[in-house]
């Protein structure tokens, strides 16, 4: 009996610790670098190449940042955005290297895999970086395909969250002929054809019939696009309501199902929070909230909650997912009544993509339809910190330890 109690307590303790540790691993590289303007260009291109989201979805990682002057040297050769991504992905090490560890490397040298290696685009071992603890306190970095020549050095630690993420500054961009080679762009994807062939034909046909909405989707595809297409049964059931909308509102509703950045499934799961859409335009928010529900990812508006049910394509710069309901924005339809005692809002919100760069258009007026939006926005719509990193909560951890100790003591 005593053995069974000990086993139960042990499993409970491990479960509680696992939950705490998993919650403490979230970070946001964009937010971490935002306080350091000398890295603003590097930070901008992490977002532009969508590496920021990939970094945020990893733990035990090191980002080797370079300052604006070093980025200017890189960009002076006018590389394509895909080549820039390969070069910057070489600066993301898939291991944790804080300042202390860099100066205490076993045998003075270490070989670190990078995000460039993980993409499969790096032939052989060209996606690895040698780190060498040199004499005089210097630490050198050299890509494997650089013939062991060390001309890039550790400058300082920018931010460390042991042993989750370390952001360090290095003196210059890591030289790699493989990473800097011209990279082909992705093949053009026919968005509506993909949707039509995989259970979203009604939505795809409706999109094709709306010239303005289709043009908005197409113009966003090259820079990054995520589409949430309602399955045929869901959109068929919604058609009577859709047909009662004005032309402007029909366009807005269709554009509400697109996000002007690429979001992989891993990124959606790691970046819960408010997300803008192709319909977002100035004062017209047209946003929704991405939230994990166990293994599922849900999209919550003030009117409906839809669940992602499948992936049609997930290949940068385009991702298309099926959803089980039509997304209905509060700007077009009446919001549901708030339920009492809502669950606490998560500490981490998603990277809210910038509004679409499409030409400004007049937002649909509430008087256009009988179903007008609620007159005021909930305070919950105002996200105070869109990219805040999760901080270590010592008090909560201490309480957790005391709780586990008390359970063990009482049951033994």
Instruction: State the pLDDT at residue 389.
Output: 35
Question: What is residue 405's predicted lDDT score, i.e. its pLDDT?
Answer: 55
Among 94-103, 169-178, 361-370, 378-387, which stretch is predicted with the lowest mean pLDDT? 378-387
SS3 call for 58: coil
What DSSP character marks residue 36? -
Comparison of pLDDT for 411 and 199, the residue scoring more: 199
Contact 168, 154 (CB under 8 A): yes
- Picking from 295, 203, 205, 296, the residue whose alpha carbon sits closest to that of residue 256 is 203
Q: Higher confidence at residue 106 or residue 335? A: 106
238-268: burial string, b at 16+ Cβ within 10 Å, e else = beeeeeebeeebbbbbbbbbbbbbbbbeebb
pLDDT at 186: 63
Residue in 165, 218, 351 with CA at minimum distance from that of residue 273:
351
| Axis-axis angle for helices 247-255, 211-221 (nearest 10) | 30
Strand partners for 305 = 300
- E strand intervals along 9-134: 61-65, 92-93, 109-113, 128-133
pLDDT tens digits, one per residue of 117-128? 988 778 888 899
Provide the token pair at 397: 């951890």
Top-ranked range on mean pLDDT: pick from 44-58, 183-197, 289-303: 289-303
- Enter the tokens of residue 201: 């034909």
Residue 306 pLDDT more than 80? yes
| Percent above pLDDT 70 for the chain | 74
Q: Is the pLDDT of residue 130 over 90?
A: yes
CA angle 137, 142, 145 (to 5 degrees): 165
Q: Say if CB 63 and CB 29 are below 8 A apart.
A: yes
Residues 6+ apart with CB under 8 A from 403: 16
Residues 6+ apart with CB under 8 A from 49: 81, 84, 85, 88
Residue 276 tokens, joined? 């803008």
Tell whether omega for the bond before 163 is within 30 degrees of 0, i.e. cis. Answer: yes
Q: Residue 154 has which token pair?
A: 């550790």
216, pLDDT greater than 90: yes
Query: What is the separation of C-alpha 100 from the centre of its chain, rounded to a whole number of angstroms?
Result: 29
H or E element in which residue 230 lies: strand 225-230
Share of residues in the chain with pLDDT > 90 (%): 52
Q: Are 153 and 135 in contact (CB under 8 A)?
A: no
Question: What's the length of the chain?
Answer: 412
Q: At what angle do helices 68-75 and 40-48 cross, to 10 degrees?
A: 50
Q: In the predicted model, is pLDDT for residue 276 greater than 70?
A: yes
pLDDT, tens digit, for every residue of 344-395?
Answer: 555 444 444 555 444 444 445 444 443 443 333 333 333 333 333 333 344 4
In sequence order, the β-bridge partners of residue 375 are none
Radius of gyration of the chain (CA): 24
Mean pLDDT, residues 93-107 = 92
DSSP H or E segment with residue 309: strand 305-315
- Give the H/E segment covering residue 169: strand 165-170
Gap between the Cα atoms of 165 and 56, Å rounded = 9
- Let me know: does 47 contact 30? Beta carbons within 8 Å: yes
User: The pTM is what?
Assistant: 0.51
Q: pLDDT averaged over the chain?
A: 80
Torsion-angle region of 334 (φ positive above 0: left; ψ -120 to 50: alpha; else: beta):
beta
Higher pLDDT, 156 or 136: 156
Q: How far is CA 164 from CA 21, 47, 61, 366, in A?
A: 10, 20, 6, 47
Distance CA 326, CA 228 (A): 9
What average pLDDT does range 147-161 have in this prediction? 92
Beta bridge partners, 311, equal 321
Q: Which two tokens stand for residue 335?
A: 């919001």
| 396 compared with 161, residue with greater pLDDT | 161
């Amino acid at each position: 009996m005593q053995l069974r109690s000990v086993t139960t307590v042990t499993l409970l303790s491990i479960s509680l610790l696992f939950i705490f540790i998993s919650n403490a691993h979230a970070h946001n590289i964009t937010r971490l670098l935002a306080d350091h303007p000398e890295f603003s260009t590097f930070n901008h291109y992490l977002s532009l190449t969508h590496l920021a989201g990939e970094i945020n979805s990893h733990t035990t990682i090191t980002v080797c940042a370079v300052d604006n002057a070093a980025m200017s040297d890189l960009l002076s050769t006018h590389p394509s955005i895909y080549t820039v991504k390969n070069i910057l992905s070489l600066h993301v090490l898939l291991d944790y290297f804080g300042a202390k560890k860099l100066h205490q490397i076993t045998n003075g040298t270490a070989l670190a895999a990078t995000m460039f290696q993980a993409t499969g685009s790096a032939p052989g071992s060209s996606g690895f970086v040698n780190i060498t603890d040199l004499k005089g306190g210097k630490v050198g970095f050299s890509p494997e395909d650089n013939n062991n020549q060390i001309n890039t050095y550790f400058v300082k630690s920018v931010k460390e969250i042991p042993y989750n993420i370390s952001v360090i500054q290095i003196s210059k961009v890591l030289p790699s002929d493989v990473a800097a080679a011209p990279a082909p762009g992705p093949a053009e994807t026919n968005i509506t054809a993909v949707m039509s062939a995989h259970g979203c034909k009604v939505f795809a046909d409706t999109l094709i019939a709306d010239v303005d909405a289709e043009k908005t989707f197409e113009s966003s595809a090259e820079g990054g696009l995520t589409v949430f297409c309602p399955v045929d049964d869901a959109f068929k059931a919604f058609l009577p309501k859709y047909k009662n909308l004005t032309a402007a509102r029909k366009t807005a509703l269709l554009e509400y199902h697109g996000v002007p950045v690429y979001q992989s499934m891993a990124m959606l799961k790691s970046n819960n929070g408010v997300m803008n859409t192709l319909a977002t335009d100035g004062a017209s928010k047209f946003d929704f909230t991405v939230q994990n529900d166990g293994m599922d990812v849900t999209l919550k508006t003030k009117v409906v909650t839809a669940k992602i049910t499948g992936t049609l394509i997930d290949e940068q710069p385009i991702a298309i997912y099926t959803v089980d309901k039509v997304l209905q924005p509060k700007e077009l339809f009446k919001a549901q009544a708030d339920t009492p005692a809502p669950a606490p809002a998560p500490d981490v919100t998603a990277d809210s993509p910038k509004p679409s760069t499409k030409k400004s258009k007049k937002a649909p007026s509430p008087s256009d339809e009988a179903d007008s939006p609620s007159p005021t926005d909930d305070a919950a719509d105002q996200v105070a910190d869109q990219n805040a990193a999760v901080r270590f909560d010592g008090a909560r951890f201490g309480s957790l330890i005391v709780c586990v100790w008390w359970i063990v003591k009482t049951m033994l």
